[in-house]
């Protein structure tokens, strides 16, 4: 190491190490840091250790600067308002960089823009990089964050190193990932996922910084080089764009690693559900952003005897064991959850999770030092209290505009959740017996159906659709395709992704036959003619989970075969204590609707998957079309 260190020290020149010991970093990390220092030219290097002291030091600095302020009503909770132009993921500026275009995207017809993954040619990427990153950290400190996704050293876990000039990102990464000097020991000489992040505002700044939140919205770029396991993020401090362990690493890059290594990286929650007989099952569920994962993962059952415990609320890494069972881990260490709509009524366990040590972004703050957002109207102590809304203006309940941005978020340590599962950090993961897909479907789609087989389940997931939400830059409500709830996070050619899912059902020689999970589809969001939800949702969703678990346990008598899958027979969902529900409206499978749907799905496959669509999935579509025609 001596020689490398000498060279590296020389190349770092006069740039001071503000904190940490550079020479204790593994040699590959040293080289990575040195190269990027030469490129981005920060005024100092700060090697993070993830300690409480370090977090306190950074927090105090940010309070002084006005970027964070303490929420006095709680212990160690902080609020932050971003530049209002930097509030969500920017899908239109998110790219996968591969030498061959079709490694990233499917073969779409002339003039059709692929919606799953955007491809950037390596040459174009180089020029985008060259026009942004050189000198982009000048006058700022570069933080070096070593982190593990998954328990440190676990067989399913992976290590990453993120460089960033945002100390807000450091604080959030400390909550969302495992950040500790133990990372360096665990890593040794091995490779790691590289993350390079800059807010893109070198000093001296040329434009006024709004809300003490430096960002560069016109120049945003989030680029991934999957073969190099590398992420380049520029111009945004918003979590989905800047906490590189999350969507960039744990979904887009990890899905590439997963394909190569034979596992899955999915946009899924993992929950443990114990029935009144005391038997526990683990379920994974994929819903598009802002469609209910965090809520389902922490559900408080409204029927007696049931218990739900959360393993993860957003991302699942899953691998079949040699015993044929699928095991899943939550690679994250915290919750980055949608704030609006979260209340003691809808998600009490999330509320409990962020009473301390949490960061709130773009919510409102009352003069009493409490957080506030839409959905807390009935729970706030003083409904007349004066607040500062997310835009920094004085605001009261009833005033025009919104208190919180619809995509405002809480960042809370997962360990603080009262119902965090005791095995949530199990390195080998928990056994997954069912996978649920779902979305916001105001029309036509029943509350619950069970798919006919693994392959039919893959087909159903491939045609997953949902109403758009505020989680990305889309405005207005429309139904969009969101296959596997992965559209914004797809890391490679979607046809190959489908093939990968299909291949996973076959065990390699010498391993036990694979017990593939049953696949279900749910829709909490069907509405009546007046636009009101037909299903109460939230804690009452346990009633649907109950039916699912009985199906897993082999109960065959309560399912009705329809062209799209099995739906519950009337009376087979426990409705005790519930206001009357319009069963037919909630469960019907209208022929005209599904005839249209199958046509639309065919068009979607032709336009968006083309020749990359595996023949088996096309066959599922044909079969489904025939079943619907015969209704």
Q: Which residues are catalytic?
A: 291
CA-to-CA distance for 28 and 4, rounded, in angstroms? 10
Residue for token digits 């957080």?
371
Q: 8 or 175, CB closer to Mn ion?
A: 175
Q: 141 or 436, CB closer to ligand GTP?
A: 436
Q: Does 482 bind Mn ion (CB under 5 A)?
A: no
Stretch touching Mn ion by CB under 5 A, among 29-37, 334-342, 478-486, 560-568: 334-342
CB of 500 to ligand GTP, least distance (A): 22
In degrees rounded to 5, what are phi and psi of residue 600? -65, -40
Closest CA to 457 of 526, 544, 517: 517
Stretch touching ligand GTP by CB under 6 A, among 106-114, 256-264, 293-301, 550-558: 293-301
Q: Does 541 bind ligand GTP (CB under 6 A)?
A: yes
Stretch touching Mn ion by CB under 5 A, among 20-28, 170-178, 285-293, 346-354: 285-293
In degrees rounded to 5, what are phi and psi of residue 577? 80, 10
Q: Residues with Cβ < 8 Å from 84, sequence gap 6 or more?
A: 210, 211, 390, 391, 405
- Secondary structure class of 94 (helix, strand, coil): strand
CB of 96 to Mn ion, least distance (A): 18
CB of 340 to ligand GTP, least distance (A): 6
Q: Does 291 bind ligand GTP (CB under 6 A)?
A: yes
With CB under 6 A as the contact rule, the residue among 71, 172, 290, 519 that binds ligand GTP is: 290
Q: 82 or 294, CB closer to Mn ion?
A: 294
Judged by CB under 6 A, how many residues of this single chain contact ligand GTP?
22
Q: Which does 346 bind (CB under 5 to 8 A by kind): ligand GTP, Mn ion, none?
A: ligand GTP
Which residues within the stretch 310-349 sit at the binding site for ligand GTP (CB under 6 A)? 313-314, 337-338, 340-341, 346
DSSP 506: S
With CB under 6 A as the contact rule, the residue among 538, 547, 566, 605 that binds ligand GTP is: 538
With CB under 5 A as the contact rule, the residue among 337, 495, 517, 565 that binds Mn ion is: 337
The CA distances from residue 484 to 81, 105, 184, 433, in Å, are: 32, 16, 34, 17
Q: 335 or 594, CB closer to Mn ion?
A: 335
Q: Which does 180 bind (CB under 5 to 8 A by kind): ligand GTP, Mn ion, none?
A: none
Q: 45 or 349, CB closer to ligand GTP?
A: 349
Closest CA to 285 of 494, 488, 593, 523: 523
User: How many Cα atoms occupy the beta-carbon half-sphere of 523 within 13 Å?
Assistant: 27
Q: Does 34 bind Mn ion (CB under 5 A)?
A: no
Q: Does 147 bind ligand GTP (CB under 6 A)?
A: no
With CB under 6 A as the contact rule, the residue among 42, 114, 151, 292 that binds ligand GTP is: 292
Q: Does 293 bind ligand GTP (CB under 6 A)?
A: yes
The CA distances from residue 208 to 68, 212, 216, 274, in Å, are: 18, 9, 11, 54
Beta strands in 71-228 (DSSP E): 78-80, 94-97, 119-120, 141-149, 158-164, 178-179, 193-198, 221-225
Cα radius of gyration rounded to whole Å, the chain: 24
Q: 438 with 522: CB under 8 angstroms?
A: yes
Q: 363 with 312: CB under 8 angstroms?
A: no
DSSP lists the bridge partners of residue 223 as: 95, 232
CB of 247 to ligand GTP, least distance (A): 9
CB of 350 to ligand GTP, least distance (A): 8
Q: Does 294 bind Mn ion (CB under 5 A)?
A: yes
CA-to-CA distance for 503 and 383, rounded, in angstroms? 55
- The number of angstroms, rounded, from the C-alpha of 519 to the middle of its chain's C-alpha atoms is 20
Q: 71 or 522, CB closer to ligand GTP?
A: 522
CA-to-CA distance for 393 and 41, rounded, in angstroms? 37
Q: Does 172 bind ligand GTP (CB under 6 A)?
A: no
Stretch touching ligand GTP by CB under 6 A, among 127-135, 291-299, 322-330, 597-605: 291-299
Q: Does 331 bind Mn ion (CB under 5 A)?
A: no
Stretch touching ligand GTP by CB under 6 A, among 292-300, 411-419, 501-509, 514-522: 292-300
Q: 314 or 365, CB closer to Mn ion?
A: 314
Torsion of CA 466, 89, 340, 335, to 10 degrees: 100
Q: 125 or 287, CB closer to Mn ion?
A: 287
What does the block give as tokens for 37? 């220092």
Closest CA to 322 of 94, 119, 196, 155: 155
Q: 103 or 408, CB closer to Mn ion?
A: 408
CA-to-CA distance for 314 and 287, rounded, in angstroms? 9
Helices marked H in 444-568? 454-462, 494-503, 542-552
Q: Which does 292 bind (CB under 5 to 8 A by kind): ligand GTP, Mn ion, none?
A: ligand GTP
CB of 111 to ligand GTP, least distance (A): 31
Neighbours of 398 (CB within 10 A): 8
DSSP 1: -
CB of 524 to Mn ion, least distance (A): 14
Letters for 391-430 (x = contact with Mn ion by CB under 5 A, - = none) are ----------------------------------------
Helices marked H in 409-536? 454-462, 494-503
List contacts with ligand GTP (CB under 6 A).
287, 289-295, 313-314, 337-338, 340-341, 346, 471, 524-525, 533, 537-538, 541
List contacts with Mn ion (CB under 5 A).
289, 293-294, 314, 337
């Amino acid at each position: 190491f001596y020689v490398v260190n000498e060279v590296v020290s020389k190349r770092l020149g006069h740039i001071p190490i503000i904190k940490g010991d550079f020479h204790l970093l593994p040699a590959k990390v040293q080289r990575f840091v040195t190269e990027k220092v030469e490129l981005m030219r920060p005024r100092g290097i700060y090697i993070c250790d993830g300690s409480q002291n370090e977090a306190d030091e950074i927090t105090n600095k940010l309070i002084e600067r006005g970027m964070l302020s303490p929420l006095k009503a709680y212990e160690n909770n902080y609020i932050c308002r971003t530049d209002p132009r930097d509030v969500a993921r920017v899908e239109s500026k998110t790219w996968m960089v591969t030498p061959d275009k079709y490694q990233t995207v499917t073969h779409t017809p002339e003039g059709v823009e692929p919606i799953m993954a955007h491809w950037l040619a390596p040459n174009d990427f180089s020029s985008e990089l060259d026009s942004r990153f050189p000198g982009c950290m000048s006058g700022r400190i570069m933080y070096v964050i070593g982190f593990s996704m998954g328990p440190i050293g676990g067989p399913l876990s992976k290590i990453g190193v993120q460089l960033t000039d945002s100390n807000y990102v450091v604080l959030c990464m400390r909550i969302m990932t495992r950040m500790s000097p133990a990372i360096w020991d665990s890593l040794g000489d091995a490779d790691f996922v590289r993350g390079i992040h800059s807010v893109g505002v070198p000093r001296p700044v040329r434009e006024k910084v709004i809300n003490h939140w430096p960002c560069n919205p016109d120049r945003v770029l989030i680029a991934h080089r999957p073969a190099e396991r590398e992420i380049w993020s520029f111009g945004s401090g918003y979590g989905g764009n800047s906490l590189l362990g999350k969507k960039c690493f744990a979904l887009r890059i990890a899905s590439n690693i997963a394909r190569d290594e034979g596992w899955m990286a999915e946009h899924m929650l993992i929950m443990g559900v114990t029935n009144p007989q005391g038997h526990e099952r683990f379920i994974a569920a994929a819903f598009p952003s802002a469609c209910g994962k965090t809520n389902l993962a922490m559900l408080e059952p409204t029927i007696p005897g049931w218990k739900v415990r959360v393993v993860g609320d957003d991302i699942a890494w899953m691998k079949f064991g040699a015993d044929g069972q699928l095991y899943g881990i939550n690679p994250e260490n915290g919750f980055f959850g949608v704030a609006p709509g979260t209340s003691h009524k809808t998600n009490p366990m999330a509320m409990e999770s962020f009473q301390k040590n949490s960061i709130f972004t773009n919510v409102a703050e009352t003069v009493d030092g409490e957080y506030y957002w839409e959905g807390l109207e009935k729970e706030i102590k003083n409904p007349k209290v004066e607040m500062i809304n997310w835009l920094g203006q004085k605001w009261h309940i009833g005033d025009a505009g919104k208190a919180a941005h619809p995509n405002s978020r809480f960042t809370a340590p997962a360990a603080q959740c009262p119902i965090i599962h005791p095995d949530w950090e199990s390195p080998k993961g928990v056994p997954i017996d069912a996978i649920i897909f779902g979305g916001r479907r105001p029309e036509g789609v029943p509350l619950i159906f069970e798919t006919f087989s693994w392959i039919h389940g893959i087909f159903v997931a491939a045609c997953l659709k949902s109403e758009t939400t505020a989680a990305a830059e889309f405005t207005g409500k429309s139904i969009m395709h969101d296959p596997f709830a992965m559209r914004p996070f797809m890391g490679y050619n979607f046809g190959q992704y489908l093939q990968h899912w299909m291949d996973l059902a076959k065990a390699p020689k010498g391993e036990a036959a694979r017990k593939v999970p049953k696949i279900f589809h749910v829709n909490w969001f069907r509405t009546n003619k007046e636009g009101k939800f037909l299903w109460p949702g939230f804690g009452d969703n346990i009633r649907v989970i109950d039916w699912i678990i009985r199906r897993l346990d082999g109960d065959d008598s309560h399912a009705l075969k329809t062209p799209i899958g099995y739906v519950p027979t009337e009376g087979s969902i426990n409705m005790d204590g519930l206001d009357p529900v319009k069963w037919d409206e909630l469960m019907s499978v209208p022929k005209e609707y599904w005839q249209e749907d199958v046509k639309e799905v065919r068009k979607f496959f032709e336009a968006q998957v083309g020749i990359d669509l595996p023949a088996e999935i096309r066959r599922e579509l044909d079969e489904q079309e025939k079943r619907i025609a015969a209704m």
